[in-house]
Each structure stands twice: as C-alpha cells, then as structure tokens.
Amino acid sequence: MGTLVIKLPYVFRVERNNRVWFFYRRSGKYYRLPSPTDSSFKAEYDNIHRSFEVARAPSVSGTFARLVEDYKGSADFSEKSPKTKKDYRRYMDALVVAFGDISVRAITRKGVMALRDSLKGKPRTANYYMQVLRLLLNFAVDQDLIKVNPAARPKRLKTGPGHKTWREEDIAGYREANKDDPRALLALDIGQYTGQREGDCITMTVKAWDGQFIEVTQNKGGERVWIPSHPKLKPTLDALPKDRLLILVTKTGRAYKEDFFRHEFRSWADKAVQYGAQPGLTFHGLRKTATVRLLEAGCSHAQVKAITGHRGDATVSYYGKDASKKVLSLQAMAKLNAAERKQAKLITGKAKSDNSGSS
C-alpha cells in the first residue's frame, strides 16, 4: 500500500513505530487531526484553518495579549536569533491563551506559580514558560505597566540529567545499527566531531569546508567559529560533491527542517539500542560528548569554547563535570600507585639491609 499524500497547507505527518499521526501546524501551534481517511478529517481541518484566516481584532491596551504584541514589535525581540524568536513566539502564543485579555496588573505571583505547577509533569516545558513569562513581565516593568515582576526568580522545577552524553559503546552501537545508511553515519560524525547544535549542523554548507576548517556562524547568539576537521571526518567531507549546497540533507537531497531532522535522528538512535546503546540518546547529546572529549584531552575552557562556541564557562563546566571526575580519579590512582611502589621499594630495601647485616 502506497503512502497517503495530503496536499493541504499546514498539514504535518509524523510516522514512528509503525504509527502515523497528522497535525495542523501553524504559528508554532499544533492541532491533532483525525486520519485523512476519517470522514471528520476535512471538517476539522476547515475549522482550524478558518480560525487562523479570521483576522484578530487589536488587543486592548494594558492586557497581557497587547503586552505580547508590543514585545514582538520591540527592539529587544528583533535582536533575538531566528531560532530564539521562533521558540519565544510558540510559548508567547500559548501564554496568550492562558492570560489573554487579563490586565497585566491583575497577574499575581500566585497565578504565575499555579501556571508553573499545572505543568509539573513536563518540568522542562514549565521552566521555559517561566523564562518567557519573566521576560515579558520585565518588559511590562520597563513600559511602566507594573512596578514589580510577579514572575521574577520562580523556583525552577527539577528536570533530571537532560541530554545524555554518548558513551563509546553508544557510538559503536549506532554505527552497527546504521552501517548501511551513509546519511545516518554522516549525521553522527558531524555531531560528535564538530560539537555544534543540531540547528547549526543542518545548515552547514559544503562551501563552509575549506579542506581544513568548517566555518559556522551559530544561530544562537551569532557566535562565529572555525572547527578544524577531525581526521575521521575529513575524508567524508572531502568526498562530498562540490555542487551540493548542504552537508546534511534529507533522503531526497533537500534541506532539513529542524523537527524532521530531530525525528529522523531519533529513529537512527533508537535502532542502536539493540546493539548496546542507551535508550533516549539525542543529537544534542553529541555536543556534550564533544565537550567532554576536549576536556578529557586537557583542553582549557577557552580552547573548548573556540570549537563549541559556548559563550560562558558555566555550561562547559557543567558538561565537563564527569570529565573532571575522570581526570581527577586518574590522578588520584596514579598517586596511590606511586605511593605503593615507593612503600614497596622501602620494604624491599629494608629487607636487603637486614639480610646483609645478618650475614
């Protein structure tokens, strides 16, 4: 049976574990749709689509919805990177659903905490909502709408360890699971040998590779880095067709959208579990792996940041905390071994001395 093709604007298909879902995706919002073979599909699609086509009346001054509109038009927002703007818009639009036409003055600390706690099952999402809400209400303070930000310094919910650092056995398992898929292997090597975020990796161009360095201007923060090629990555980069635009491309040779790349890479990583890899590995985990490897090799924070593009030392230190432990444990064991050898030498020397005296 062939793949069902839907040629309707904003319809997004997700296929995973032999199951297929359809969504209406627009302006950072997702709406679940029934199967296109279901009789209710067209009616539900039309209702959602129509809701976007009807122009929204201007929001009333002083309301939260108006605050969001004003912030989107501000210089502060315009200076954000495209990726940050996209993420902020998605969360701001969701916050408008929560607060909407409520006066900004009426938003209380209790209401902010209630919103956070309503999302406690998704702590990362809750923390991001709080980050965006705090930013918006700081903007409200600057606009003299309120005197105090009720979302200032909310306690962050615990999120666990985050993206897992890839172990060598994870990488070996991934290679074995995807050994017949050059695109999967190239994605792995770009991730682990450049240490860049997935959004930067899927926009790397072949022309950015000059035979020694890959030049990247990062989407987040605009940091510019030149990454020397790892010996295991160089032959692959040299072999790429010179008329190809991007290093990482889809099966049909097109540019990746970030969501699709994340979905496809997750499917490659999931295959590796049966070959000894950890479940739940992500592409961003390879950025952590690259950072840890550099620190374990004795690189300074400045040297690490020259490759990864991290701006501060805090994230490098956080990513490298396990690397520091390994280095310190090796140093500790070396000292223990040296002390034991010294003690054994003293004992041997004393024994020889005693034997020579008795003779």
Question: How confident is the prediction along the chain (359 residues), in pLDDT tens digits per residue?
Answer: 445 556 677 888 887 767 788 888 876 677 888 888 777 788 888 878 777 665 455 678 899 999 999 999 999 999 888 878 888 998 998 888 788 889 999 999 999 999 899 888 889 889 999 999 999 999 999 999 999 999 998 888 887 777 899 999 999 999 999 999 999 999 999 999 999 999 999 999 999 999 999 999 998 878 899 999 999 999 999 999 988 999 999 999 999 998 899 999 999 999 999 999 999 999 999 999 999 899 888 888 899 999 998 888 888 887 777 666 666 677 778 888 888 888 887 877 666 666 666 55
Angstrom distance (rounded) from CA 353 to CA 155:
68
Is 168-319 in the same CATH topology as 59-160? no
Distance CA 292, CA 172 (A): 17
- For CA atoms 346, 347, 352, 354, give the dihedral sign: positive
Question: Bridge partners of 103?
Answer: 63
* Domain locations in the chain as residue ranges: 1-55, 59-160, 168-319
168-319 is classed in which CATH architecture?
A: Orthogonal Bundle (1.10)
Three-state DSSP class for residue 259:
helix
85-107 in b/e form (b: 16+ CB < 10 A) is eebbbbbbeebbeebeeebbeeb
What is the model's pLDDT at position 328? 66
Q: Which residue is listed with tokens 């496809």?
A: 264
Determine the pLDDT at residue 1.
40
Parallel/antiparallel/unpaired status of strands 29-33 and 224-228: unpaired
Q: Which pLDDT belongs to residue 162?
A: 77
Residue type, 154: P
* pTM of structure: 0.63
Q: CA 210 → CA 184, 206, 235, 343, distances in Å?
A: 23, 9, 13, 55
Q: Provide the pLDDT for residue 312.
A: 82
pLDDT at 154: 82
Q: Answer yes or no: CATH 3.40.50.720 is held by domain 59-160.
A: no
Which residue's structure tokens are 């097109």? 254
In order of 25, 186, 287, the CA distances from 191 in angstroms are 28, 8, 6
Cα separation, 144 vs 108, whole angstroms: 16
Amino acid identity, position 273: V
Q: What pLDDT, on a 0 to 100 scale, did the predictor assign at position 2?
A: 47
- Please report the pLDDT score of residue 194 as a whole number: 95
